Structure 1
């Protein structure tokens, strides 16, 4: 094959379909994904449902066998996500409290000329025009959470910048499915907006964790040594996420979701 044809040859694409698996109390539709980047068969569950990932070399039979062998684990994960469905939604003049920094703050509703969410010693105050839409409510809440998160980061970041080879190139706050943070090769830092709902020390740990990837772009012992030197209590925060992380993500998803009619 000529070099030109080799360079023009398209890379294998990701293929998707669905497969049914019988669980003890239901028949579940699982998304099956054949991904050329995958190294092994993997089963995962998030707010979008169950997903079976197959590398190119894996047969459909081996994928079905893997899915069958992990039915009990799959049912357990789905039960955990079902429990998260009880998270509170945002409804005007109905929602009476909102999560912030590991606490639940009282929320009062007010008529206003424009949409804004403020905080004082008495709690939170949502000001809205009479005809404000659900989308306006959600946008206002998201902007409030982003401003609070950036205020926290602004307090913590100067403490950790000394000793780093460089600072992050930019910072984004996102709603993330599974991760709490990520650092791209160009130095862009992304953090999950749900972090501002949890206790501040857990949020601070995630920031430190991602900053240490500016030194080591892996999870080697040397990387964890850098984390330990800057945040010795990181194990406590990791346990906090194991216990409460899914609930934090579910709460943010519910609050920013469009209410069903």
Structure 2
């Protein structure tokens, strides 16, 4: 499948896109291997504690980014803050590294996606999710809508498959408030390229009512990593995408980005 975000002069060739058909504290154990090998990843402690500390960057914020289908006034000034370029080397040549401040984790995203380090939550309803490393692409690609959003969150659920399913549903309800359907696909194993870490990939998809000129279908891709022992939860990378339109993020492309996740 052609990479819709390939670097070079034909980064976004016309018709080159194929649309797809809070954690615990203390000592954290991250599952590695196929179930027999368990290793301690100290960096996960920092991720989970920071994202669930009421005074940390994961606390709810009234200035949360509008969700992809939230209507906003076209006259309102945009406050998107692009974070400083990371000095880390991306695993994918020509991309940039999304390394949230105060969190010992990073992943690659395309060079033209805007990172907003100020965001700490996705959504303002009861379905809102803590969020760090918030990035967007395609702001106003159609009237007042965003084509793609990505961030890291946590789940209280220990089982990675259940966490990926639960977070995907929450994110869909927040990002696509006018949705008319929601279907969770089958969970698939996914390993990162650096380590590796062993997680679960899942696609939640559906349709929604949108303004003229916007996509009418969506996919929420989630990549969950269990942090092991009872009560410790999971880390979940989330990617929300309008689909069936130019530059749509496919499942394969989402997997490619998720596979670059690493602990620092």
What is the TM-score with the length of structure 2 in the denominator? Answer: 0.23
**Greater strand percent: which structure?**
2
Higher Rg = 1
Structure having greater relative contact order (Cα 8 Å, sep ≥ 6): 2
What is the TM-score with the length of structure 1 in the denominator? Answer: 0.24
